[in-house]
């Protein structure tokens, strides 16, 4: 199975030993961040630093002229990835014999929400989520589509992986996050993710819903959850909380909004890319799920993109809805966390990969070559050698 390791430019830029070290893992490819959200990351082997603080969402290369005069536009990185950090890292990795694909984070951007609050998801209580751009808003969709095309198709890249190309909701670890006191479960997370910005209010109307009545229904449905009642998981739990008619109408609206954005963004990338450029989405096979792995309809997304990267940190079950589509031309990449300090299990990678292959996965993704310890990387090397 072809394997790719996720990497940040700051893991490689300024560390002449990094490309060979990554290639020695046994991977054929790296998925290198080109547009990324704010983060704080360890760099345990870099000769110049140990902690990188990316203060805001940024493109990690010089943006082009398409953004001139536009209200919504990407920002350059600061000293954590100056200039064309992506380009320098990509060239060094390619020189080590590695195929470079871009890693592009889209609808997850706290700076966008801070500078342009009107772009954010607004929940049923009127609270804004500044990290979550509302993907129903026309200007935001145009921004995300153009960013996908620009950030994906960097010089030397052979493909891209688009993350957060769908709805984002409450699911986000914010600075000093303190939102875990109530167990919301799938149902509560869905209700807290429903957006009530002007664009979404109009969208609900197109699906026969009164936005004010829907918001009131959401608040009523959540009252027992705030008092400690268990929140049912999966879609039936959402229907029980909100009512079947309201729940299905909101899902129809949100599914349609996400599907059309995914189609537009992939088309924009293809229009900008050379022939043979691979376009994958980080995807969850449950369409109402929100977050970095966008909820999708498996049959639909495999008809739009070249394949998917599927989260498998909690098990390989999410692979099956994609592999059973029997699309022999599609990439289904199983994404495993190999950083033990972040809950990963590099020691079981060989067995996990074998199970993923049995279920029909065609490739592996390893999160994350820059964050992992030396012992984690040694376990990865051993596992890939055994495969």
What residues have CB less than 8 Å from 139, skipping those under 6 apart? 71, 72, 119
The yes-or-no verdict on residue 176 having pLDDT over 80 is no
User: What φ, ψ does residue 347 adopt, rounded to 5°?
Assistant: -70, -20
Could you confirm whether domain 2-178+278-386 is CATH 3.20.20.140? no
Q: Is 156 exposed, middle or buried (0-12, 13-18, 19+ CB in 10 A)?
A: middle
126 three-class SS: coil
pLDDT digits (tens, 9 = 90+) for 213-269: 999 999 999 999 888 887 777 899 999 999 999 999 999 999 999 999 999 999 999
Question: What are the residue boundaries of the structural domains of the chain, listed by start?
Answer: 2-178+278-386
DSSP 16: T
pLDDT digits (tens, 9 = 90+) for 24-71: 999 999 999 999 999 999 999 999 999 999 999 999 999 999 999 999
Question: What is the pLDDT averaged over residues 141-162?
Answer: 98
User: What φ, ψ does residue 16 adopt, rounded to 5°?
Assistant: -65, -15
Q: Provide, rounded to the nearest whole percent, the portion of the chain with pLDDT above 70.
A: 100
Name the β-bridge partners of 365.
4, 335
In angstroms, rounded to a whole number, what is the distance separating the alpha carbons of residues 220 and 4? Answer: 46
Question: How would residue 183 be classed by pLDDT, with cut points 50, 70 and 90?
Answer: confident
224 three-class SS: helix
Helices 349-358 + 374-386 axis angle, to 10: 40
Give the residue from 108, 112, 123 showing the smallest Cα distance to 211: 123
In angstroms, rounded to a whole number, what is the distance separating the alpha carbons of residues 308 and 331? Answer: 6
pLDDT at residue 171 in the model: 81
Question: How would residue 172 be classed by pLDDT, with cut points 50, 70 and 90?
Answer: confident
In angstroms, rounded to a whole number, what is the distance separating the alpha carbons of residues 364 and 353? Answer: 7
In angstroms, rounded to a whole number, what is the distance separating the alpha carbons of residues 207 and 320? Answer: 31
In angstroms, rounded to a whole number, what is the distance separating the alpha carbons of residues 255 and 24? Answer: 42
The yes-or-no verdict on residue 273 having pLDDT over 90 is yes
In angstroms, rounded to a whole number, what is the distance separating the alpha carbons of residues 43 and 21? Answer: 14
DSSP 348: G
User: What φ, ψ does residue 3 adopt, rounded to 5°?
Assistant: -120, 145
pLDDT at residue 375 in the model: 97
Question: How would residue 184 be classed by pLDDT, with cut points 50, 70 and 90?
Answer: confident
Looking at the chain, list the stretches that DSSP marks H as alpha helix, in order from N- to C-terminal side.
9-12, 18-23, 85-95, 110-115, 138-152, 185-193, 198-206, 211-226, 234-242, 244-272, 298-304, 320-323, 349-358, 374-386
pLDDT digits (tens, 9 = 90+) for 283-320: 999 999 999 999 999 999 999 999 999 999 999 999 99
Question: What is the pLDDT averaged over residues 350-371?
Answer: 98
What residues have CB less than 8 Å from 159, skipping those under 6 apart? 101, 102, 277, 278, 279, 280, 306
The yes-or-no verdict on residue 174 having pLDDT over 80 is no
The two tokens of residue 73 are 């536009």
DSSP 370: T
CB atoms within 10 A of CB 102: 27
Backbone Cα Rg of the chain: 21
pLDDT at residue 268 in the model: 98
pLDDT at residue 320 in the model: 98
The yes-or-no verdict on residue 173 having pLDDT over 90 is no
In angstroms, rounded to a whole number, what is the distance separating the alpha carbons of residues 177 and 157? Answer: 35
311 three-class SS: strand
The yes-or-no verdict on residue 203 having pLDDT over 80 is yes
């Amino acid at each position: 199975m072809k394997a790719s390791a996720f990497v940040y430019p700051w893991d490689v830029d300024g560390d002449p030993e990094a490309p060979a070290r990554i290639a020695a893992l046994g991977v054929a490819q790296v998925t290198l961040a080109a547009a990324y959200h704010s983060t704080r990351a360890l760099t345990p082997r870099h000769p110049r630093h140990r902690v990188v603080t990316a203060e805001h969402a940024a493109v990690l290369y010089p943006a082009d002229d398409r953004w001139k005069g536009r209200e919504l536009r990407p920002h350059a990185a600061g000293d954590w990835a100056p200039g064309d950090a992506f380009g320098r890292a990509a060239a060094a990795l390619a020189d080590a014999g590695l195929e470079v694909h871009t890693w592009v984070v889209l609808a997850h951007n706290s700076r966008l929400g801070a500078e342009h609050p009107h772009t954010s998801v607004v929940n049923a209580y009127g609270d804004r989520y500044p990290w979550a751009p509302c993907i129903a808003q026309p200007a935001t969709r145009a921004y995300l589509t153009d960013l996908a095309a620009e950030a994906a198709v960097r010089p030397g890249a052979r493909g891209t992986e688009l993350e957060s190309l769908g709805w984002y909701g409450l699911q986000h670890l914010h600075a000093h996050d303190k939102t875990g006191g109530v167990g919301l479960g799938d149902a509560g997370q869905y209700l807290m993710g429903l957006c009530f910005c002007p664009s979404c209010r109009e969208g609900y109307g197109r699906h026969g819903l009164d936005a004010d009545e829907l918001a009131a229904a959401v608040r009523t449905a959540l009252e027992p959850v705030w008092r400690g009642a268990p929140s049912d998981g999966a879609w039936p739990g959402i229907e029980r909380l909100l009512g079947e008619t309201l729940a299905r109408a909101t899902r129809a609206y949100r599914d349609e909004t996400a599907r059309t954005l995914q189609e537009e963004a992939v088309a924009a990338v293809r229009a900008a890319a050379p022939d043979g450029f691979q376009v994958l989405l980080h995807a969850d096979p449950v369409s109402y799920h929100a977050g970095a792995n966008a909820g999708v309809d498996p049959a639909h997304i495999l008809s739009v993109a070249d394949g998917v990267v599927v989260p498998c940190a909690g098990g390989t079950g999410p692979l099956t809805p994609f592999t059973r589509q029997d699309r022999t031309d599609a990439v289904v990449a199983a994404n495993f966390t190999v950083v033990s300090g972040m809950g990963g299990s590099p020691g079981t990678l060989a067995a996990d990969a074998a199970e993923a292959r049995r279920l029909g996965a065609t490739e592996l993704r390893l999160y994350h070559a820059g964050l992992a310890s030396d012992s984690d990387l040694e376990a990865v090397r051993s596992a890939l050698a055994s495969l």
